[in-house]
Amino acid sequence: MKNALRISCSRGNLKAVRDFVTTSLLECNLSNLQLNQIVLAVDEVVANLIIHANGEDESQYLDLAINIDDHLFGIEIFDNAATVYKPSTYHEPDLPEFIRLGKKGGVGMALVNRIMDRVEFTTNGSQNVCRLYKHLG
């Protein structure tokens, strides 16, 4: 099964993304926990791309493509942002230090990396692609 969605870079479109992922996964008979974890991981990555990579510029778009095949969920998220946002240079945060400092934010990708089996960020020319994979059931 393959599904696609295009959204403008507005936080207001995050609900459409969550609904898109949920609907795509309904046939997979997942537990509520696993379904919600995958939706959360995709939501976090899309929110980061909307806010940090595209500066919430509604003239920019994200294209999402979901493929579910042989118990493997895969989603590709494409954008053309030309910013300094470089998720491929991500390093796990020092969570005890974040807590000690009372720091808010900066742990979303740590959560995504714990939920998903594989997370990839690549750039080819002007196109950036994030790929998330999760084995189901």
User: Domains in the chain, please, with CATH?
Assistant: 2-135 (3.30.565.10)
Contacts with 20 (C-beta within 8 Å, 6 or more apart), sequence order = 3, 5, 64, 66
The whole model's pTM is what? 0.87
| pLDDT tens-digit map of 3-38 | 999 999 999 999 999 999 999 999 999 999 999 999
Give the tokens for residue 7: 């959204």
Mean pLDDT of the chain: 88
